[in-house]
Chain A
Amino acid sequence: MTRSVILETRGLTKAFGGLVAVNKVDLTVEAGKIIAIIGPNGAGKTTLFNLVTGVHPVSSGEIYFQGALLNNVPAYKRASLGIVRTYQHVHLFENMTVLENVMSGRHARSSYGFLEAAFRLPKAHREEESISLNAIKYLNLVGLGAYAEHDALSLPLGQQKLLAIARALATEPRLILLDEPGAGLNTLEKRQLSDLIRNIREMGISVILVEHDMPLVMGIAEWVIVLDSGQKIAEGTAAQVQKDPKVIAAYLGEEVE
């Protein structure tokens, strides 16, 4: 069986002035897996996401997505390549309904523009129909179908996070990056989230998540990567990583000889 690699970084580095947030990180992410990136605050986890999704330009090193160099691809083009993310601070479109948020997620998978919209040409009608059908599909997938016409911000935080995931899934990604999806959720919501993430993997989408909630990570992650001060200090299965002295030291703040 050949193992296909969906994401690879080589010597990936990001410096903000004198601060090196991500320092020569080499990652190889296998397709179709749930990968967790953990590490103490300031370890560079979110910066790593920002590099992969194009929010920040890379200082040095390379990022490959499905074998193709990603460095100079503008952020907005990465969604159509198949990379999408959610944000720690949800970033819903608060001026829209729940359904419209997910419909926005179809942007990269539709193409009609100003002219077709202005004069309601057949292409606009055709695409609009498929946009709303797909949006409803993804909304149902995360269990928010009943709230389609609600204002996005009227949902409680847990459901807002699910909505952000639905919007991301609507772009039909090959790889989804979830930035602290569990933060602020209660136990029940976390269980639903775990089920949803497994479900996403079943759809053939690779998942990388940054998460502080260790039980959540240990429950679903098939591979765990540990960052500390911008460097990769360990990786392995959840059980292996937990026993790694360097990881324990990083979390407890001890020096390793």
Chain B
Amino acid sequence: MLARLTSKWSYLAIAVLFALLMLVPFNWFLGHYTTLAIFIGIYTIVTVGLCLLMGYTGQVSLGQAAFFGMGAYISAILSKTYGVNPWLAMLIAAVMTGAFAYIIGYPIFRLRGNYLAMATLGLGLIMWVLFRELGRFTGGPDGMTGIPSLSIAGFVFNTPFRRYFLVWFFCLAVLLISQNIVRSRTGRALRAIHGSEAASESIGINVDQFKVKILVLSAVYASIAGSLLVYHLRFVSPQLFDFLASVRLVVMAVIGGLASVWGAIFGAGATRILSDELLLRFGQWDIVVYGLILMLVMIFMPEGLFVRLKELYERLRLRYKRREA
């Protein structure tokens, strides 16, 4: 009963959110906020995957930019160099990235905790080096330009305004799917693994398999986001997927509250606004601020800023209600 009620509420919340998001570009018509909103949408997709992996299942990834970059580069190379339809390229990228995650999943999840963190960190670094050094395919450190746009039946997503709707369509689909997964048998199994692997096995949960599956899902999300990123920028370079990129992704997930699907929008939003608006002039030094935020959030509100704000809102609402009564 309670679960049904809350899920009805969350669908209402989704509808309201969607309506609001549709209005945003009209408010700042074609302004630079449309571009910002596109970035927020793209990074939200990656962050949701990271929340499922880290927040729900408790498996750290410091190399999520590897999957993000694979999606970007595979789409870029296939669509530009080989003239593959951009949609097909995006699909192939997602399948290849997912398959890659599946193959590395079983060996990598023999590790736990700090060791897993180090292994994923290594993965991110290796991919970054490959993006830089496989110059014949990737354009090396300079990257690639002139990547084609996505289009549907002659309608080309060649303006930020059009891409805004495209990106947020994918973003909301990913959020909805993730929320459904979280509130299911699968979601409970993932949280159970986080809670106690021993107890999970004893009640019949195939722990290794679930870890690999959620890694694959998060990799596919990251790959889709990477493809959207290159079709938006129409340009790709290894800098977008370096170690700091992985750290920024973790910061987004942490600010949003690791175990909260909807917090991902908040985390990605807050971080992108900070990067693109407030810290722009500091260039790569923004990472210092992120490091600080990461430390403060972990120390003072390990559940995440978003979750804490939600609690605060609930408390204020209760107090207000009591005063009225």
B181→A118 contact, CB < 8 A: yes
CA distance A164 to B85 in the complex (A): 54
B44 to chain A, nearest CB (A): 17
Within 8 A of A (CB), among B186-241: 186-189, 191-192, 194-196, 198-207, 213, 217
| Contact (Cβ within 8 A) A114 B213 | yes
- Are A104 and B188 closer than 8 Å at their CB atoms? yes
The interface residues of chain B lying within 8 Å CB-to-CB of A167 are 199, 203
Residue from the set B185, B186, B198, B259 with the largest chain A CB neighbour count within 10 Å:
B185
Which chain B residue lies CB-closest to A55? B198
Check if B180 sits within 8 Å of A117, measured CB to CB.
yes
A79 and B203 within 8 A (CB): yes
Interchain nearest-CB distance for B29 vs A (Å): 35
Given A93-B196, A95-B195, A118-B180, is A75 in contact with B188 using a C-beta cutoff of 8 Å? no
* Inter-subunit contact A91/B198 (CB<8 Å): yes
Chain A stretch 38-63: residues in CB contact (< 8 A) with chain B? 53-55
Inter-subunit contact B186/A92 (CB<8 Å) = no
A117 near B203 with CB under 8 A, answer: no
- SS class, residues of chain B in contact with chain A: helix
Complex Cα–Cα for A114 and B186 (A): 6
The reply to whether A104 and B186 form a contact with Cβ atoms under 8 Å apart is: no
Closest chain-B Cβ to A48's Cβ sits at a distance in Å of: 15
Give the distance to chain B from A39, nearest Cβ to Cβ, in Å. Answer: 22
Asked if B153 CB lies within 8 Å of chain A CBs, one says no
> Which of A76, A94, A116 is close to B205, meaning CB atoms less than 8 Å apart?
A76
Question: Which B residues are in CB contact (< 8 Å) with A87?
Answer: 198-199, 202
Q: Is A191 an interface residue (CB 8 A)?
A: no
B184 within 8 A of A: yes
A79 touches B202 (CB 8 A): yes
Q: A235 within 8 Å of B by Cβ?
A: no
A-B CB contact pairs (8 Å), 5 listed = A91-B199, A96-B195, A104-B188, A113-B186, A170-B203
Q: Chain B residues in contact with chain A, CB under 8 A?
A: 2-3, 177, 180-181, 184-189, 191-192, 194-196, 198-207, 213, 217, 259
Q: A75-B201, A93-B192, A93-B199 are in contact. List 5 more A-B contacts (CB 8 A).
A: A55-B201, A76-B204, A93-B191, A96-B195, A127-B185
